[in-house]
């Protein structure tokens, strides 16, 4: 098994913008630990950045301070940068090609938001034949409200982890992942 660490959308938007991640600093600390460990072990790190292409976008607008990678991510080495425009990191990007060209069979997911971009990327990876590891404490989300109801960030986060563990990914804590790789 050859793995790559996918660091999804760890951008300033989630720390200083409109979409503040609950417990973002805790998640960030674990993302940074995973990146540092992956680099030390020779595991490729793919940084994924979301760009909102909508006219007049107020979140993830290219070139805005909130669109930029969080400084802790930007200052660390990574092997590949993917710019995406949809929740799934494989949609309209070169991610699948890059992973296959590098012999990757397992992707490890860290980043934001657990219920949207991380979840979608995990499901896409499974459909494309990759094994998936989902770092529970290196992901995070926000509360969600629609016409169908609302969920706290913790309720939504827990539901995502349960669904991921039930079918799509090996869900684990960062410390356990570090010990096993």
Q: Which residues pair with 80 in a beta bridge?
A: 46
For domain 3-180, the CATH superfamily is Isochorismatase-like (3.40.50.850)
53-77 b/e (C-beta count within 10 Å ≥ 16 → b): eeeeeebbbeebebbbbbeebeebe
The yes-or-no verdict on residue 126 having pLDDT over 90 is yes
pLDDT of residue 153: 94
Mean pLDDT of the chain: 97
pLDDT of residue 4: 98
Segments making up each domain of the chain, as ranges: 3-180
What is the C-alpha to C-alpha distance for residues 169 and 66, in angstroms, rounded to an integer?
A: 30
Q: How many CB atoms lie within 10 A of CB 124?
A: 20
Show the beta-strand stretches assigned E in 42-117.
45-50, 80-84, 106-112
pLDDT of residue 38: 98
What is the C-alpha to C-alpha distance for residues 178 and 61, in angstroms, rounded to an integer?
A: 34
Q: Give the N- to C-terminal CA distance of the chain in Å, as an integer.
A: 10
Percent of the chain with pLDDT over 70: 100
Show the beta-strand stretches assigned E in the chain.
3-8, 45-50, 80-84, 106-112, 131-140, 144-146, 149-151, 170-172
Q: How many CB atoms lie within 10 A of CB 5?
A: 28
The label of the residue with tokens 């990914």 reads 169
Mean pLDDT value across residues 87-113: 98
The yes-or-no verdict on residue 14 having pLDDT over 90 is yes
User: Using an 8 Å Cβ cutoff, are 127 and 46 in contact?
Assistant: no
The yes-or-no verdict on residue 169 having pLDDT over 90 is yes
The yes-or-no verdict on residue 154 having pLDDT over 90 is yes
pLDDT of residue 116: 96
What is the C-alpha to C-alpha distance for residues 120 and 113, in angstroms, rounded to an integer?
A: 10
pLDDT of residue 1: 86
Mean pLDDT value across residues 146-173: 97
pLDDT of residue 22: 85
């Amino acid at each position: 098994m050859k793995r790559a660490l996918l660091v999804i959308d760890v951008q300033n938007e989630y720390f200083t913008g409109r979409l503040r991640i609950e417990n973002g600093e805790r998640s960030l600390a674990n993302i940074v630990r995973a990146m540092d460990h992956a680099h030390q072990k020779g595991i490729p790190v793919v940084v994924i950045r979301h760009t909102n292409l909508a006219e007049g976008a107020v979140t993830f607008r290219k070139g805005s301070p909130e669109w930029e990678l969080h400084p802790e991510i930007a200052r660390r080495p990574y092997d590949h940068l993917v710019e995406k425009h949809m929740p799934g990191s494989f949609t309209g990007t070169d991610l699948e090609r890059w992973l296959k060209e590098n012999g990757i069979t397992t992707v490890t997911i860290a980043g934001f938001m657990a219920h949207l971009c991380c979840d979608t990327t995990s499901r896409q990876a499974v459909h494309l034949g990759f094994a998936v590891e989902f770092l529970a404490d290196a992901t995070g989300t926000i509360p969600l409200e629609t016409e169908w109801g609302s969920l706290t960030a913790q309720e939504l986060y827990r539901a995502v982890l349960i669904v991921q563990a039930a079918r799509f990914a090996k869900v684990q804590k960062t410390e356990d992942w570090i010990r096993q790789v």
